[in-house]
Amino acid sequence: MRVYLDNAATTPLDAEVLKQMYAVMENTYGNPSSIHGHGREARTLIERSRKTIANLLHCSPAEIFFTSGGTEADNTAIRCGIIDKQIKHAITSRLEHHAVIHTLEAMQKNGIIKLSFVDTDSRGNIDLQQLETLLQDNERSFVSLMHANNEIGTLTDIARVGDICEQYNAVFHCDTVQTMGHYAHDLSKLKLHFMVCAAHKLHGPKGVGFLHVNHKIKIKPMIYGGSQERNMRGGTENLYGIVGLAKALEIAYAEMGQHQDHIQGLKTYMINQLTENVPGISFNGETDPAKSLYTVLNVSFPEMEMADMLLFNLDIAGISASGGSACSSGTDIGSHVLGAIGANPSRPSVRFSFSKYNTKEEIDFTVAKLRELCLVNA
């Protein structure tokens, strides 16, 4: 049996998405910027996709800009939002994705901003009272806080963060890569300026995403070139990817309720089975369904011989999981998220992340293999 439990890193492409992309690849090859019939046909598909996404998120199509993915969208929001608005102070947490932290740290190093980190507790919850204090004590700030952590799954109340930011005239950027397509986002109610998406996290294609830019804020492009994306992002649009992204998000919204129930059921089941069968385990981040992303479960196992081989042994057994953010896999650098919440570095931790395609049988197989590995290495 082969079991894929690394869906927070990337998800399998939905068959309906592939079908729609293939039809476009086969029949629509014009450059969307060309004014002839072939180009207009391609442009129509892009604008139809933009409208589909905007309707799902309750925003204007003019607020959706297509990118190469979440990292480009994060960089654009942060760099352009700070520089164009002449903001000198930024606030984030040490749990953010490196696309956020490294960008802000580079801007601090170059003297563009002063950077503050808001505290988190041992479960990864943001100290919102301290956030408010930081906003009070500084001039206009740029706040970047993710909706759900990609390693431990803890959710942040972004509606409340948006209210706080509005009170202090702060610019609010939210990395929603892990929650887009898994929760319904109503941008007519959320008080934020920037939101991002990467298609491959919701059964869409790799190499495409979007940045939502609230109409109340105006920024200049990060990538210059042609006049694509209404002069906001130079470069010929990824037509097939954009069509696939819109289809994937459309499917995600249509099936959201049943998939939430199914996936949360698998997560709860795995928590119970691990607790019963593998002594000495603990869970990183929140496990309360109301406070935790239902697709992610981060588990710390007891100290064992050859702890660094746990993921390797799972892979040998046919189980794909992650030791943290996939963006750091293949390096010997420990998880910055687990370090920030004070997890014991001598205990091996594994992130299991689920999708609509996973089954209870796969969970049983995985738990049995984990029990075997922990007993052998105890």
Catalytic residue numbers read 327
The structure tokens listed for 327 are 């963006």
Query: In which residue are the tokens 């190093």 written?
Result: 109
The secondary structure of the chain, three-state, reads CCEECECCCCCCCCHHHHHHHHHHHHHCCCCCCCCCHHHHHHHHHHHHHHHHHHHHHCCCHHHEEEECCHHHHHHHHHHHHHHHCCCCEEEEECCCCHHHHHHHHHHHHCCCCEEEEECECCCCCECHHHHHHHHHCCCCEEEECCCECCCCCEECCHHHHHHHHHHCCCEEEECCCCCECCECCCCCCCCCCEEEEEHHHHCCCCCCEEEEECCCCCCCCCCCCCCHHHHCCCCCCCHHHHHHHHHHHHHHHHCHHHHHHHHHHHHHHHHHHHHHHCCCCEEECCCCCCCECCCEEEEECCCCCCHHHHHHHHHHCCEECECCCHHHCCCCCCCHHHHHCCCCCCCCEEEEECCCCCCHHHHHHHHHHHHHHHHHHC
| Amino acid occupying residue 51 | K
Contact 70, 197 (CB under 8 A): yes
List phi, psi (to 5°) of 152: -115, -10
